[in-house]
């Protein structure tokens, strides 16, 4: 039987007694503080410029979005040997005329619907109290009692309390309502909206007429070599196609949601079903917030019409099911995985652009982020940002 020498036994025991050293998991990456500061200052300057000049950027982005969405139709009209300028003008005039006729035909229903909203809110509150079996709250009883006491005191002509000596009584008179001021403000608002609409339409028309002029200019700027021109052309085509596909999907799904909502509400017997179909289609372009507003509004109107919470829940549930099926099944299937954005990014972008531009930011926030993602996906240095924005 072979024996292990003592020197080898000591060596093996020493090796076994040594504990393994922990592996360092710290990632060391060089950080250039100066570059990071410059990037942060640039981002803040861009945000300030976007907010300060929103009167310019909002019509500009609306015109660009409209031109992207209508460019395939103008190209189709051009194939019928119709000049591009005439085709673009006919298309825009047709859209504006159709929208104006639709608004005019539904204006009476819309006015009637708006007038019923306060009554719906009061009926909703009364119905909730009846369902809960509660009477009026203590604070409301106190307010009613105080109102009645004040009314009785004014009717009996009770003398006003005498001011102490040395104190001057001051009477505050409420300013009279000047109807001319309100009419002036409303008129200026209408003229401002009309001017903004005209700017957007003219900008969209000029962009549609120009066609691929800017793309050819970018190809000239890239350089004299043919390889650089081919790469630039491929990148521009990918960006253009991805943005157009996204906008066309949004238009198609909004129209589909509007039509399905109208038919569903017409079948269930809800009044002003066409109005709510249009509202559902328009608010469908606003992620998260739009379906919630439509669901709450339709439930409130259903409560006013049918008088029961069950019907209000049914109508609101129908609206929520339609928008959910569109948002979670149809739109992802039509858009494709390459052009999808993370749900967190979509939610944060809605909050950010809504804070920056208000209602227009809610409508334009997601398309703007879609353009940024499309550009980042096609530029090598910006691909990490595109990966961060995507799913």
Give the residue carrying structure tokens 């509400």: 265
> What span, in angstroms and rounded, lies between the C-alpha atoms of 360 and 56?
12
pLDDT, one tens digit per residue, over 243-277 is 778 788 888 888 999 899 999 988 988 888 888 88
Q: Residue 329: CB partners within 8 Å, gap ≥ 6? A: none
Per-residue pLDDT at 349: 84
**Greatest extent of the chain over all pairs of C-alpha atoms, in Å:** 126
> Which class for 199: exposed (0-12), middle (13-18), buried (19 or more C-beta within 10 A)?
middle
Of the listed ranges 27-31, 80-84, 264-268, 348-352, the one predicted with least confidence:
27-31
Pick the closest to residue 367 from 328, 334, 341 (CA basis): 341
Q: What is d(CA 142, CA 324) in angstroms, rounded to the nearest whole number? A: 45
Half-sphere CA count of 9, side-chain side, radius 13 A: 4
Predicted local distance difference test score (pLDDT) of residue 159:
53
Task: Give me the residues paired with residue 50 across strands.
Answer: none
- Nearest-5° Cα angle at 152, 147 to 158: 120
Out of 42-56, 231-245, 353-367, which region has the weakest mean confidence (pLDDT)? 231-245
Global confidence as pTM = 0.66
Q: Taking the CB of residue 128, how many other CB atoms lie within 10 A of it?
A: 12
Per-residue confidence band for 179, with pLDDT thresholds at 50, 70 and 90: very low
3-state secondary structure of 390: strand
| DSSP-assigned letter for residue 341 | B
What are the tens digits of pLDDT across the range 12-59? 554 555 555 555 555 455 556 667 788 888 888 988 998 898 888 888
């Amino acid at each position: 039987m072979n024996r292990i020498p003592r020197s080898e036994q000591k060596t093996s025991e020493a090796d076994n007694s040594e504990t393994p050293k922990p592996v360092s998991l710290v990632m060391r990456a060089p950080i250039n503080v100066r570059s990071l500061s410059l990037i942060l200052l640039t981002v803040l300057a861009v945000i300030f410029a976007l907010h300060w000049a929103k009167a310019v950027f909002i019509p500009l982005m609306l015109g660009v979005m409209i031109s992207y969405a209508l460019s395939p139709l103008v190209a189709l009209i051009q194939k019928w040997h119709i000049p591009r300028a005439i085709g673009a003008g006919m298309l825009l005039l047709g859209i504006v005329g159709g929208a104006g006729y639709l608004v005019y035909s539904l204006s009476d229903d819309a006015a009637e619907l708006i007038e019923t909203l306060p009554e719906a809110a009061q009926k909703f509150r009364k119905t909730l109290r009846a369902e809960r079996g509660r009477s009026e709250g203590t604070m409301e009883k106190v307010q009613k009692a105080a109102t009645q006491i004040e009314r009785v005191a004014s009717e009996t002509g009770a003398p006003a309390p005498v001011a102490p000596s040395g104190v001057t009584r001051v009477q505050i008179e409420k300013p009279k309502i000047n109807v001319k001021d309100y009419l002036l403000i409303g008129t200026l608002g209408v003229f401002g909206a009309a001017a903004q609409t005209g700017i957007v339409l003219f900008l969209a028309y000029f962009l549609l007429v120009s066609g691929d002029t800017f793309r050819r200019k970018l190809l000239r700027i890239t350089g004299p070599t043919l390889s650089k021109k081919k790469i630039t052309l491929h990148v521009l085509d990918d960006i253009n196609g991805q943005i157009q596909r996204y906008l066309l999907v949004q238009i198609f799904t909004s129209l589909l949601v509007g039509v399905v909502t109208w038919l569903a509400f017409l079948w269930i017997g809800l009044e002003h079903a066409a109005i709510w179909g249009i509202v559902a289609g328009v608010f469908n372009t606003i992620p998260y917030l739009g379906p919630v507003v439509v669901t709450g509004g339709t439930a409130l109107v259903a409560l006013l019409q049918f008088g029961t919470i069950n019907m209000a829940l049914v109508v609101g549930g129908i609206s929520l099911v339609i928008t959910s099926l569109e948002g979670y099944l149809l739109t992802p299937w039509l858009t494709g995985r390459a052009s999808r954005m993370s749900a967190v990014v979509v939610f944060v972008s809605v909050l950010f652009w809504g804070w920056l531009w208000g209602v227009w930011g809610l409508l334009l926030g997601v398309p703007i982020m879609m353009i940024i993602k499309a550009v980042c996906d096609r530029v090598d240095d910006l691909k990490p940002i595109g990966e961060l924005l995507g799913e």
